[in-house]
């Protein structure tokens, strides 16, 4: 009898363990089931908290589906990579919010979602969005509960912004920077017959920190018009129109947020001057082109273009600037850090890598009271990679040997920022007194100067491979 009891307990334990394993396997391999379980938990919360909870469930499902679709490697390995480098985001960190055969909208996950949530709380209310519209495509009017700064990374189009009793329309092209205020009904047109229109956006939510939503009014069932959320009685009274006509109006559109348009339709929505606002004209500009004033810094190893609130006033109250570094193939940026601003950098073309000194991810440095121990944070850069560089962190970017590297940077907290160069003609170490140099480095000041005066370029330098090739040529000669 005793043996039978032990056998029964053993079989029961085995059954329970199997059930746990099967249940765990199902939750990992069935994102939809996990999503539904997550949504049920949200139902018990207040309306506002429920919305945030549901957004998180949706993002979690999207990431899980994308991870499972990735060829090679597993989620565990990728999670370890994320913990080791919380400042770098790749394709797998983006979710696709809207997609049709004529275009798509991709949204980067919140900076505070991963293992680096404590490190990136300063930019938790900023989101990166990439919009791609195929040639001759119309983007259905919508508004966001977020302020948006937009950079035109590729192509040319037309933007129309509707606010109260006026419409501002202007043509846009590659290199343009413009702002859309929260709540502004906006529609876009790709007016090119061949090229894709690509917009990189920095969204700054105004309702729920870190969360934003698109609202479609001029729409139907796909995308759904928000008018459809109201009761028939309210809609009939609002529009003084019978339900049948309203049903037809708000149920006709079923083709998605991106629609193919005819040449005549494109032409009728693109009769505006480049950058200038129609119908108001004057000194006001709908967009400013980052290349317009020429580079702020330029040599054969790279160029730096900038747009701040002095060149484009709509950026002023957001405390945001936009810069574009075009690093020549084989070149590198000067090692530097910023006093106040945090760079949210997006690779829009080319390849390369970056390195940054960080005291926060070092295993040896655990308490703020201790002297810091720095760890090198690095990553390969390719189109679509997003890198966050916090204030105070020294960093450098290097272009590959076969292509220029173009880095678009949204600069948060740009007002009164100072960029400090750590090498080259005007580096900060050259300003130290001789005694300070000797005490700090433990060698004669002359030796310090010999190192820090040796690089005569400024802002952009020849990269490691370029320098090595030059040394090889000198050795052969």
**Segment 420-452, tens digit of pLDDT:** 999 998 899 989 999 999 999 999 999 999 999
CB 429 within 8 A of CB 335: no
Range in 93-107, 277-291, 433-447 the model is least confident about = 277-291
The CATH homologous superfamily of the domain defined by 89-216+257-288: Jelly Rolls (2.60.120.10)
Residue 414, pLDDT > 80, answer yes
- Global pTM reads 0.79
| CATH T-level fold of 297-476 | Jelly Rolls (2.60.120)
Residue 475: predicted pLDDT: 57
Q: How far apart are CA 399 and CA 297, in angstroms?
A: 17
Mean pLDDT score, 270-292: 63
DSSP, res 413: T
CB atoms within 10 A of CB 410: 26
- Which of the two residues, 156 and 277, has the higher pLDDT score? 156
Alpha helices in 199-331 (DSSP H): 232-239, 243-249, 263-268
Q: What is the DSSP string of 131-199?
A: EEE-TTEEEEEEEESEEEEEEEEESEEEEEEEETTEEEEEEEETTEEEEE-TT-EEEEEE--SSSPEEE
pLDDT in tens, 172-199: 999 999 999 999 999 999 999 999 999 9
One fold for 89-216+257-288 and 297-476:
yes
Q: State the average pLDDT over residues 361-385.
A: 76
Phi, psi of 277 (to 5 degrees): -90, 135
State mean pLDDT over 4-13. 49
The structural domains of the chain, with segments of one domain joined by +, span 23-69, 89-216+257-288, 297-476
> What whole-number distance in Å separates Cα of residue 163 and Cα of residue 185?
7
Instruction: Render pLDDT for 226-240 as a digit per residue (tens, 0 to 9).
Output: 999 999 999 999 999
* Band of pLDDT at residue 75, cut at 50, 70 and 90: very low
pLDDT tens digits, residue range 21-35?
434 444 344 666 777
- Backbone dihedral angles phi then psi of residue 122, each to the nearest 5 degrees: -65, -20
Find the helix packing angle between 434-441 and 445-452, rounded to 10°. 90
Phi, psi of 279 (to 5 degrees): -100, 15
Is residue 436 within a helix (H) or strand (E), and if so which, with residue range? helix 434-441
């Amino acid at each position: 009898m005793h043996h039978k009891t032990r056998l029964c307990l053993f079989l029961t334990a085995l059954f329970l363990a199997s059930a746990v394993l099967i249940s765990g396997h199902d939750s990992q391999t069935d994102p939809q089931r996990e999503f539904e379980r997550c949504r049920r938990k949200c139902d018990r919360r207040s309306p506002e908290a429920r919305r945030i909870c549901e957004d998180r469930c949706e993002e979690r499902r999207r990431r899980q589906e994308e991870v499972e679709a990735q060829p090679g490697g597993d989620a565990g390995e990728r999670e370890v990579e994320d913990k080791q480098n919380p400042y770098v985001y790749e394709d797998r960190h983006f979710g696709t919010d809207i997609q049709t055969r004529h275009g798509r909208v991709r949204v980067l996950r919140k900076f505070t979602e991963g293992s680096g949530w404590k490190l990136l709380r300063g930019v938790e209310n900023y989101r990166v969005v990439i919009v791609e519209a195929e040639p001759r495509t119309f983007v259905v009017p919508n508004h966001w509960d977020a302020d948006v700064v937009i950079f035109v990374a590729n192509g040319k189009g037309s933007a129309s912004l509707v606010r109260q009793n006026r419409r501002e329309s202007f043509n846009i092209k590659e290199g343009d920077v413009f702002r859309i205020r929260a709540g502004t009904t906006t529609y876009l047109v790709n007016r090119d017959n061949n090229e894709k229109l690509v917009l990189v956006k920095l969204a700054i939510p105004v309702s729920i920190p870190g969360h934003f939503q698109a609202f479609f009014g001029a729409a139907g069932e796909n995308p759904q018009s928000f008018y459809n959320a109201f009761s028939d009685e309210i809609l009939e009274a609002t529009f003084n129109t019978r339900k049948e006509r309203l049903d037809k109006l708000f149920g006709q559109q079923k083709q998605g947020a991106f629609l193919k348009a005819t040449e005549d339709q494109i032409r009728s929505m693109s009769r505006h001057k480049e950058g200038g606002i129609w119908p108001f004209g004057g000194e006001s500009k709908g967009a400013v082109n980052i290349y317009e004033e020429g580079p702020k810094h330029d040599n054969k190893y790279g160029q730096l273009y900038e747009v701040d609130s002095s060149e484009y006033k709509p950026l002023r109250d957001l405390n945001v600037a936009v810069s574009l570094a075009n690093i020549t193939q084989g070149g590198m940026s000067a090692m530097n850090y910023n006093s106040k601003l945090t760079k949210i950098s997006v690779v829009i073309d080319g390849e390369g890598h970056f390195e940054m000194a960080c005291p926060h991810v070092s295993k040896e440095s655990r308490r703020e009271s201790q002297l810091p121990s720095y760890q090198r944070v690095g990553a390969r850069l390719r189109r679509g990679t997003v890198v966050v560089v916090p204030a105070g962190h020294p960093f450098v970017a290097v272009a590959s040997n076969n292509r220029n590297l173009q880095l678009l940077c949204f600069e948060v907290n740009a007002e009164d920022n100072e960029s400090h160069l750590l090498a080259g003609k005007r580096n900060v170490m050259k300003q130290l007194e001789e005694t300070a140099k000797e005490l700090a480095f433990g060698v004669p000041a002359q030796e310090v100067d010999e190192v820090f005066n040796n690089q005569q370029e400024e802002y952009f330098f020849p990269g490691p491979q370029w320098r090595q090739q030059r040394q090889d040529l000198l050795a052969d000669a």
